[in-house]
Amino acid sequence: MLVEAGNTRNAMTVSFFSEVAHHPTALWVAISRKTYTYSLLEESSRFTLAILNQTQKALALHCGTISGKQEDKCKALKLYKSPGDFLFLHGALASTGCSVRERVNLGDHTLFVADIVESHIDSRKAHLRQLLLSDL
Partner 1 sequence: MHWPGRTIWDTRIQSVCGVLSADGDQGVEIYFSATFAQVSFDPPRIIVNPNRMYAIEEMIRRGRRFAINVVPLSEKENLIRLIRLRRRQTHKPEQLGLVICKDEHGIPFLQESLRTIFCEVDAEIPSGDRSLYVARVLESRRNPKYVGQQPLLFGEIAPSRFPSLHKTVRKVAIVTGGLDLAKKLVGKLRPSPPANIAKTTYEQAGATEPELSLIRSYGLLDRGRTLVPPAAPAVLTKKVGICVIGTGWGSFHCQVIHQVSPNARLFICGQNEERTARLARAVRAEAYFVGIENAVADPRVQAVTLALPHDLHRKAAEIAASAGKHVLVEKPIATTLADADSMLAKARQTGTILMVAEDMHFRPAIKEAFQRIARGDIGEPLHFLAHAAGVRRPRGWAANVERMGGGILMDIGVHYVRGLRLLMGEPNGVIATRAMQIDTKIAGEDNAQMLFSSEAGWQAHMLLSWSSLRGHIPDIVVAGEKGTLHLWPGASYLDFYPVRPTAILRLASYIRPYWLQAKFMREQFGRIRIGLRDKESGYQGEFREFLAAVAEGRSPVSPPQDGRRDLEIVLNCYEALSKHTSVAISPPESNFANGMPNPISGSDIRRS
Binding site for partner 1 (CB under 8 A): 15-28, 30, 49, 51, 88, 93-94, 96, 102, 104, 106-109, 111, 113, 115-127, 129-130, 132
Contacts 24+ apart (CB under 8 A), 12-18: 12/36, 12/37, 12/63, 12/64, 12/68, 12/73, 13/52, 13/60, 13/61, 13/63, 13/64, 14/49, 15/133, 16/109, 17/49
Measured from the CB of residue 66, what is the shortest distance to partner 1 in angstroms?
A: 20
Measured from the CB of residue 28, what is the shortest distance to partner 1 in angstroms?
A: 7
Instruction: CB nearer to partner 1: give 8 or 103.
Output: 103
Which residue, among 128, 102, 136, 117, has the nearest Cα to 15 in the 3D structure? Answer: 136
Measured from the CB of residue 106, what is the shortest distance to partner 1 in angstroms?
A: 5
Instruction: CB nearer to partner 1: give 57 or 72.
Output: 57
Instruction: CB nearer to partner 1: give 9 or 120.
Output: 120
Measured from the CB of residue 8, what is the shortest distance to partner 1 in angstroms?
A: 25
Instruction: CB nearer to partner 1: give 73 or 120.
Output: 120
Give per-residue burial for 15-38: e unless 16+ CB within 10 Å, then b: eebeebeeeeebbbbbbeeebbbb
